[in-house]
Homo-oligomer: A and B are copies of this chain.
């Protein structure tokens, strides 16, 4: 038996390492605040639980769920897309339910043939699953440099024309984890025209798109005419349903969706029927993500002011619940980590998302209001 060499190169899913560090400090008796995971601690959209309870009422038998999602769920997702992005998608051929967005991200590369050296491209700072999927499948993975100067988006003009033909999947994640960067409509337009020209798929991971503080961020759904995108959505953040594992794949491209629907039955990722009922309630309502966003705005302000007083340079902050920042006195992420750990605040070093994150650190603020005030106090006490 020879193990997948990618597994030997990895010690631990890199984000969970810092989560474990927080738990360790807690076990040592410290009053630790763990700000490493984007896992909201405030109320889940209440109608989702009600719908779940109702679905379970008097239920006595259990049957295999539809891997694709039951008809009313796909209809709800289609209606949501129309209400919010004015795109008409056929629930039967252009929408598929997923078990949250992580598994959908992970499995996507299986759709394609990689035998001719085709590559997966992603920003050099990214949700680690893009890289671990490529790594486990042994597919060439290209990191496109991002920096504060590029607004933490890959510079499309910096890529030589003859390189583009190697790309088969281009990951874009806007609003961006970890930086909260937002790709403009013009940026997405340019990317799609490159995708059409060079025949690659833009995989748009939009799980933070409904948590925003100004204008609704552009979405790949705003390009109904293009056949070169797949949109990945999730209820985890918009409805605080991380524990339900429910999301969706959407695309105008029915040929692509047909292949997805051929592939997914074998994966074993059908979402339990009663969870699908909860998901329907969540997609049917547009107000609660707005309410959540209002609350996050207040929380961000409290923390942002404390950070700015200490001289931190904060990037973005127009969407998602991540703050991404550096400090002129510190050059490495590890130094920043150390600084916060002294106050028993565990954050995630920028380098956990890629080497281009050096000198930055990410803080989540999907905490309670009280906790955000406590965090601000501890920031004020930082030894800086």
Q: Is A156 an interface residue (CB 8 A)?
A: no
Beyond A118-B2, A268-B106, whether A61 also contacts B129 by CB under 8 A is no
- Contact present for B136 and A240 (CB under 8 Å): no
Q: Assess the B2–A112 pair: CB atoms within 8 A.
A: yes
Q: With the chains together, A111 CA to B242 CA distance in Å?
A: 27
Which of B7, B39, B62 is in CB contact (< 8 Å) with A259? B7
Q: How far is the CB of A365 from chain B (nearest CB, A)?
A: 16
Q: Given A12-B262, A132-B266, are A64 and B272 neighbors across the interface (CB < 8 Å)?
A: no
Q: Is A199 located at the chain interface by the 8 A CB criterion?
A: yes
Which of these binds chain B: A41-49, A89-97, A329-337, A354-362? A41-49
List which A286-305 residues lie within 8 A (CB) of chain B.
none
A309: CB under 8 A from chain B? no
Q: Measured between alpha carbons, how far is A240 from B62 in the docked complex, in Å? A: 7
List chain B residues, Cβ under 8 A from A37. Answer: 64
| Chain B residues, Cβ within 8 Å of A103 | 267-269
Contact between chains at B59 and A56 (CB < 8 Å)? no
- Assembly CA distance A353 to B5 (angstroms): 33
- In contact, A44 and B60 (Cβ under 8 angstroms): yes
Q: Are A269 and B99 in contact (CB under 8 A)?
A: yes
**Complex CA–CA separation, A97 to B63 (angstroms):** 20
Number of copies: 2
Tell me if A217 counts as interface (CB < 8 A to partner B). Answer: no
Specify which chain B residues have a CB less than 8 angstroms from the CB of A245 in the assembled complex. Answer: 65, 268, 270, 272
Does residue A175 face the partner (Cβ distance < 8 Å to B)? no
Instruction: Answer whether residue A184 sits at the interface, using C-beta atoms and an 8 A cutoff.
Output: no
Query: A56: which of B43, B52, B64, B132 is its contact (CB, 8 Å)?
Result: B52
Q: A63 touching B39 by the CB < 8 A rule?
A: yes
* Among B7, B59, B106, B241, contact of A267 (Cβ-Cβ < 8 Å): B106
Most buried by B among A3, A44, A59, A101: A3
Which B residue sits closest to A58, measured CB to CB?
Answer: B49
- Set B99, B116, B270: member contacting A268, Cβ < 8 A: B99
Interface residues of A, Cβ cutoff 8 Å to B: 1-5, 7, 10-13, 16, 37, 39-44, 46, 49, 52-53, 56, 59-65, 99-106, 110-113, 115-116, 118, 128-129, 132-133, 136-138, 168, 199-201, 240-245, 256, 259, 262-263, 265-270, 272-275
A-B contact pairs, 28 of them (CB 8 A): A1-B200, A2-B112, A4-B110, A4-B112, A4-B259, A7-B259, A10-B262, A13-B266, A41-B63, A43-B61, A44-B60, A49-B56, A49-B60, A52-B56, A61-B240, A63-B242, A64-B243, A99-B99, A99-B268, A100-B268, A103-B267, A105-B268, A133-B266, A136-B263, A243-B274, A269-B269, A272-B272, A272-B275
